[in-house]
Copies of this chain bind each other. A is one copy, B any other.
Amino acid sequence: MVTDSQLPAGNQIEELRVSDDVPVQALQLRSLVTDTATVSLSLELVDVPVPGPDEVVVRVAAAPINPSDLGLLLAGADLAKVTVGGTADRPVVTAPLPPAAARAAAARVGESLPAGNEGAGTVVRAGSSEAAQQLLGKTVAVAGGGMYAQYRLADAAVCLVLPDGVGAAAGASAFVNPMTVLGMVETMRAEGHSAIVHTAAASNLGQMLNRVCIEDGIPLVSIVRSAEQVRLLTGQGAEHVLDATTGTFMADLTAALKATSATIAFDAIGGGQLASRILTCMEAALSGDEPFSRYGSATHKQVYIYGGLDRSPTELTRGYGMAWGVSGWLLTPFLRKAGPATFAAMRQRVAAGITTTFATSYAGQLSLQAALQPDAVAAYARMATGSKYLITPNGPAE
């Protein structure tokens, strides 16, 4: 909310509008769930905000579509039934919600929501404070939602200035995946583990975690779903990569867990038996090292579910004693708990390695209009390895 006292007086506003080449209104992507159980994606013309003293306006050049964006964007809609309407400039994509998705989305019915967790662009307007003024003209990465828009207001304090020579496309994914990867490593350390298991490990995030673990000397067990993905990660220096679709998976996983002593896993799949299988193999890897107890090994075994690629229920067979846990894991509460010093250190590490360790690769760029076409929706909603897209609201980005 901008208060009167924060507004430039009189014709200063007009002057700004002319001088900085920023339009009065610009497009913002919105997701709306209706009371007839449909979700619509549309482009709304909204006022370009005027920054308060400690705020800036970013002209968004690039914003990735992460799996974590799709829930808000698509609300679990049936994507086999996408239809498109509207105009070429402002298409409207609509899809029906299955009953379970409609129930889950009840709290957001009728509320037109902006989307896009992170992105990068140029600071085109800055508030009066020194912190804000220093950002003028800089290329910055921003997180916090509403990035699928041509312009976005941001606190100066949350802007991460990208290193010289790093463009917005290269810096667009500086938050969600990098901070999640570092958050996993920090969680592992904070909870007294020394190695990590990761599922859906051929993803952009999985490849990044592999690079961080190699840098930090942390043993990593990567679980993937094809021989091709095994080759991909092995080619990037991963030592323990297991294909969950093979007949020897359980034995191979147990051996890898014995070799690495991994007792914490981060699972992007969520549904089915994978989390339970990991706990079973952890327990098998531990047995023999400890005296027999009918309550199982005394070592705590933890699976954190941080994604839901498989929406079916998680099935836990509980054949792994009593020292186990399965929990949801989310970046934001982790960062809150970790505190500002850890957060700042993580951000600096990301900025320094944004084109190397923390680099993201994309399948392509989509304008706001192109993102609202059935084929495009189908492509980015697949959440498959190699299908990550960038939305570029102000034209192609570098």
Contact = CB atoms under 8 A, between A and B. Distances in A.
Interface of A: 71-72, 100, 104, 107-108, 111, 270-271, 276, 287, 292, 294-295, 298, 305-306, 308, 313-319, 321-330, 332-333
Contact of A316 (B294, B314, B329, B332): B314
Contacts of A107: 287, 292
A323 B333 contact: yes
Contacts of A322: 306, 328-330, 333
Given A71-B294, A305-B318, A318-B314, A326 B326 contact: yes
Contacts of A276: 313
A316 B323 contact: no
A325 B71 CA distance: 21
A107 B296 CA distance: 10
Contact of A325 (B72, B108, B321, B328): B328
B323 A325 contact: no
Interface of A, secondary structure class, is mixed
Contacts of A294: 71-72, 108
Number of copies of this protein chain within its complex: 2
Contacts of A72: 294
A328 B317 contact: no
A323 B318 contact: no
Interface centre among A322, A329, A330 (most CB of B within 10 A): A322
A338 to B, nearest CB: 16
A332 to B, nearest CB: 8
B324 A318 contact: no
A321 B321 CA distance: 26
A104 B319 contact: yes
26 contacts: A71-B294, A104-B319, A107-B287, A107-B292, A108-B292, A108-B294, A111-B292, A276-B313, A295-B330, A306-B322, A313-B316, A314-B315, A314-B316, A315-B315, A315-B316, A316-B316, A316-B326, A318-B328, A322-B328, A322-B329, A322-B330, A322-B333, A323-B328, A324-B327, A324-B328, A326-B326
